Chains A and B, each alone.
Chain A
Amino acid sequence: MHISEGILPARWAIMWFAVSAPFLFLGLRELQFKGQQNLNIKPMVGLVGAAVFIISCMPIPVPTAGSCSHPCGTGIAAIFIGPLLTVVVTSVALVLQALFLAHGGLTTLGADLASMGVAGAFAGFGVFILVRRLTGRWWIAAFLAGLLSDWATYTVTSLQLAAALHGSASFGKFFLTVLLAFVPTQVPLGIVEGFLCVGAYRFILTRRPELLQTLAGQVHL
């Protein structure tokens, strides 16, 4: 979902920066506020940030599609540290990837942050809370959070590309064409991300369940 440098016209690039900026601002404020209240939050943010950075630049071959893609890790991150802090760690990961790994771009940073950081994190977080409350089973909630955060990210990327590049073609048709092109790789990878999320959640639940209570509060009750 990394949109490379120069693909988006300036007005769209600026628009996506404007969309992402408030979330980043609120995330930074939350980091400062929570960091003073809870000593575990900064190490957890560091751990989750490093994980998002690694996961989101790790190309995984998908044999059914004959291509590679990467999971996002923002669904897992949002469950553990909340969606706003996930936006902060994603912004750091995307800046480093754009600068040093030619992965994404600086002009498209706002768009990439909106898809992976904002949409991925809020979709994962929302799905986790909803499914947890509806079913009471953490593993279903964690699986769907991982799966749908990945798919939400790529859906927003399709939307961004369609909005900026559809030209004289129909927006809806262009959007569906791009979205369908992602399907062969992202359907299996979304499922992998779902299992990854279940594994990570189970690990913390087994080793230090109190972390889940103190980090994201009522989400895990």
Chain B
Amino acid sequence: MRIALIGGLIVSLALGMYVGLRISESKWTGVDESVIEKFAAEANRPPQEPLINIERGDLPLLLFLLAGAAGGFTAGYYFRGLFPPKDKG
């Protein structure tokens, strides 16, 4: 039952994304870019290159993956301490 539910969720998510991205012409830019940087550029204060520029090939993918993994591990580590499984708590 659980496997069927997870499978159903994955298929629904994939289908939803496929249809949604096919019919939508939006660029899905973040508001940091579409609002903040837009107004800054109009005021002649465009953003400067960050100290560590990660915009090279797949580097952003790697760094966001590492950040997610590190954040998830940290959260899980403390979560386990604060909320032990019911049989152990």
Are B78 and A44 in touch, CB under 8 angstroms? yes
Are B24 and A66 in touch, CB under 8 angstroms? yes
For the side of the interface on A, what is the size category?
35 or more
Point out which of A102, A106, A181 has the most chain B C-beta atoms below 10 A from its C-beta.
A102
Interface segment, A18-26, A47-55, A120-128? A47-55
Point out which of B20, B31, B81 has the most chain A C-beta atoms below 10 A from its C-beta.
B31
Docked Cα-Cα span, A4 to B33, in Å, equals 9
**Residue of chain A at shortest CB distance from B25:** A66
B residues in contact with A101, CB < 8 Å: 54, 60, 63-64, 67
Q: What total of chain B residues lie within 8 Å of the partner, measured CB to CB?
A: 44
Q: List 30 A-B contacts (CB under 8 A).
A: A2-B36, A6-B48, A7-B36, A7-B45, A7-B46, A7-B47, A47-B78, A50-B78, A51-B71, A57-B64, A66-B27, A67-B27, A69-B30, A98-B50, A100-B52, A100-B54, A100-B63, A101-B54, A102-B52, A102-B53, A157-B36, A164-B45, A167-B43, A174-B39, A178-B35, A181-B31, A181-B35, A182-B35, A186-B31, A208-B82
Residues of B participating in the A interface, judged by any CB pair closer than 8 Å: 20, 24-32, 34-40, 43, 45-55, 60, 63-64, 67-68, 71-72, 74-75, 77-79, 81-83
> Could you tell me the distance in whole angstroms from the C-beta of A210 to the nearest C-beta in chain B?
11
Mask of A73-103 contacts with B, CB within 8 angstroms, 1/0: 0000000000000000000000011111111
Determine whether A9 belongs to the interface, using a CB cutoff of 8 Å to chain B: yes
Are B53 and A44 in touch, CB under 8 angstroms? no
Are A68 and B28 in touch, CB under 8 angstroms? yes
Given A51-B71, A67-B28, 7 more pairs with CB closer than 8 A? A63-B20, A67-B29, A97-B67, A101-B67, A161-B36, A165-B43, A208-B82
Are A67 and B52 in touch, CB under 8 angstroms? no
Where chain B touches its partner, the secondary structure class is helix
What number of A-B contacts does a CB cutoff of 8 Å give?
140
Are B37 and A43 in touch, CB under 8 angstroms? no
Are B67 and A57 in touch, CB under 8 angstroms? yes
